Amino acid sequence: METINVIIDALPTLLKGMGLTVEITVISLILAMFIGVMLGIFSITKSKVLRFISTAFVDIIRGTPLLVQILFIYFGLPSVLNISLTAFAAGVIAITINAAAYLVEIFRAGINSIDKGQMEAGRTIGFSYSQTMRLIILPQAFRRMIPAFVNQFIVSIKDTSLLSAIGLAELTLSGQSIYAVNFRAFEILTVVGILYFIIIYSLSILSRLLERRLNVS
């Protein structure tokens, strides 16, 4: 009975932290998609400069730990640029940049999966490169990339737990703040794990349903 009471008392704070976790992830993934599609297109252009920019971004971000990126954005950049960032803003920026580096590869692979004849057909009927990409290639590529987007959403949900390092009260830090007071770490962390599982399992089911519905191989 005491355990149930501990969990009931903790739920409002944990659910608030869960909501913040989802909010950060959704905002970050929306922003990351814009960066990802832009750099994904850069990566397949004939311009060596644009390809270099895309490759350098992906290599630097994927080649450094997310925790280091979070700390660099929250503590490092403000000290050099003389600006002030809230933990929320720094968290969104860090998750956005990190997710974008992986979305670049998803976009590149998705675009390259479309038959090259589609681009030739678009140019033949008078479309420019950008019009063909926007009206013909990307709509088909997006359809194939949806399951991969959902998987990246799952990864980013997990990554938000690292934002506790800068004091952002997402789900993990919310749990830590509770058991630091009541010393019931087992119960609180169990609930935290269950809440993460609910989000991630729901997204996993969505990913499988989309994959079957869209018949994506």
Segment 100-108 mean pLDDT: 92
Which residue, among 157, 156, 173, has the nearest Cα to 165 in the 3D structure? Answer: 173
What pLDDT shows up at residue 133?
Answer: 80
Contact 51/45 with Cβ under 8 angstroms? yes
Q: Give the domain range for residue 48.
A: 2-214
What pLDDT shows up at residue 216?
Answer: 52
Joined tokens for residue 207: 């990913």
The residue ranking higher by pLDDT, 212 or 184, is 184
- What's this model's pTM, rounded to 2 decimal places? 0.87
Distance CA 70, CA 106 (A): 23
The residue ranking higher by pLDDT, 121 or 44, is 44
Whether 217 shows a pLDDT value over 60: the answer reads no
What pLDDT digit, counting tens, does each position of 184-203 carry? 899 999 999 999 999 999 98
Segment 101-108 mean pLDDT: 91
Whether 215 shows a pLDDT value over 60: the answer reads yes
Give, in order, the Cα–Cα distances in Å from 51 to each of 64, 96, 117, 190.
20, 20, 22, 45
What pLDDT digit, counting tens, does each position of 110-150 carry? 888 888 777 777 878 888 877 888 788 888 887 778 888 88
Joined tokens for residue 196: 């993460």
CATH classification at residue 195: 1.10.3720.10
Domain count, the chain: 1
Joined tokens for residue 13: 């704070």
Provide φ and ψ at 14, rounded to 5°: -65, -40
Neighbours of 94 (CB within 10 A): 27
